Amino acid sequence: MFGLTTLLASLGLILATVSFISGLQAVKNQAGSIDARIHKLNGYLTILIYLLLAVLSLAEKGGVKLWSIAAWGSGLAIIFTKIWIVRSGKAYKYASWFGIMLIIIWLIIIYTHIQLGSMSFLNL
């Protein structure tokens, strides 16, 4: 069955998708809309899951490695850049690009954490 990291990564991608769609909708509507609330709520949950996964993954691999820290750190930098862009209002038109980048990050995380043999219960 699924390992803990795969479950967290899967949940992260789901919430990132919710956050991305609601973010796009929030841009269309005025600030303070329901979409903006959904975007924020899911966004913060996604960051929490991201941090949890980073800690678990670094601990799992038996020792902190420079490349792993660099990769997780780069993801975090993209997340914070995106938040800064939206909050400061600068380069606002690039916010959706950063949103897509976050989805891509979650796809990479999924590919990294997917458990081999995890779907064997489907017997396909």
- In the window 91-120, what residues touch another protein (CB under 8 A)? 107, 110-111, 114, 116-120
31: contact with another protein by CB under 8 A? no
CA distance linking residue 85 with residue 72, whole number of Å: 20
Residue with tokens 């709520």: 41
- Minimum CB separation from another protein for residue 44, in Å? 14
Among 35, 49, 50, 105, the residue binding another protein under the rule CB under 8 A is 35
15: contact with another protein by CB under 8 A? yes
Closest CA to 94 of 72, 108, 78: 78
Nearer to another protein, 15 or 53 (CB): 15
Cβ contact 105:19 at 8 Å: no
Residues at the contact surface with another protein, assessed by CB under 8 A: 10, 13-18, 20-22, 34-35, 37-38, 42, 107, 110-111, 114, 116-120, 122-124
